[in-house]
Structure 1
Amino acid sequence: MSVETGPAKLSDPVRAQSLVEAIVERLEAAIVSGELSPDTRISEQGLARQMGVSRGPLREAMRRLEGRKLIERTPNKGARVTALSPADLEALLVVREALEGMACRLAAEHMSDAEIAALEGLLEKHGALEDVKTGTGYYQESPDFDFHFRIIKASRNERLISILCGDLYHLLRVYRYKSSRTRGRAGQALKEHKRIVGALAARDPDAAEAAMREHLRNARTYAAAGPNTQAAEPKARRRRSR
């Protein structure tokens, strides 16, 4: 998968690695990007044919994605891409803001200078992504190319890491990417990421948590808007501009 072109397509050649892992990666990218949209019914036979793989490894890959809450099976209805109701999504994003804000606070206390420098370098790479430059999206490969993943890991709190990088991480990536594709969001998100890194570099836990929580509130606003629409300007930013 190229970091310059966004999520891989289902029909792209599968690169040499464990076949099941490659299928998992490709299906997850398709779900995150919306190529397989929420509530899409999945035909194992049709998908295997499209991807050019046999049904055995595909079935195992789908089981793994069920574990990540990206696919769900319903008796007599088969497998579908997980879909969250607006209320479920709102509840999930509120939980994410609280927990990831805390993770960022802890990261300000525990990150090494080398980790912060690496995070700054990561954002330089993000800024060079074609989708970010054109404002059409902000896709972050999982996990090492993911800004949020690195900060969560740097919290050094295993409980937080387990929740945010386990139970919530994969499902949230779907809605994070959707938010980033709203007009104007990709560039703004990159600026917000840089403010977060500035607070981390200053070793200011209060500022780091506040910057992360504002970033996630803004993302929630954009997640409610569809791609190619202009979401309302976040209230916090309007207040500051007065």
Structure 2
Amino acid sequence: MDCKKSYCSHCFTPQDLQPWLCHTCQRFRGILFERAELMKLKVKDLRDYLHLHEIPTQMCREKEELVDLVLCVSDVSPTSDTHIPPPPVTTQEPNTPIITVSPSTDNGTTESSDSEEVLAPGRRASLSDLRSVEDIEALSVRQLKEILARNFVDYKGCCEKWELMERVTRLYHDQKDLSNNNKLYAGPGTAVEENLCKICMDSPIDCVFLECGHMVTCTKCGKRMNECPICRQYVVRAVHVFRS
């Protein structure tokens, strides 16, 4: 949980028998796994914590999205905490061969488990990484949530992994059908242009604006719009829409 940044004596909170924490990390200590407590924090505190861990927040429009990112960071942070105890253990006895064997085996198990949870350092799961439906079964819960969040699909009501897999599978088939339709009707025509995003004129329309309810853009363009291009109403949220 420690951000491992360098601060002066006035900008961190020293604690006995615990790693020193800056004020931002100290504010989050003990509540990382409690969503209700995270929602009580200010948006500025959430952004500061994510910036300390080098997590971009430019695409987050709501406080709930920032909380979701903090919860994703908390899934990886316990592994970094497990690497803190070894230094005091190695200084207790000069007989290092026995001491260094046990941490190495523990680290091996944690690294193997971490490899299942994370694709690569700094690499987030994407729908374009999936080549078939079978690839969805190999994804972890965190990766499934990342794919849904990047495509503006709500997963708040999902309590089990199979529910997340069901939504990602539906999203995968939806994107595949749209791409097949674009290839099939690639020629010029007004019917095809009506289904294209009015901003980029490249991707199909698959996004609805809240609260006005207009559908004129794709998901990628919709997340960058501050106001609806039709009614000029402020866009509260852009939601991905599945086609039947």
Q: RCO greater where, 1 or 2, for CA within 8 Å and sep 6 or more?
A: 1
**Could you say which structure has the larger radius of gyration?**
2
Range of TM-score over shorter length: under 0.3
- The alignment's TM-score, normalised by the length of structure 1, stands at 0.25
Write 1 or 2 for the structure with the bigger share of helix: 1
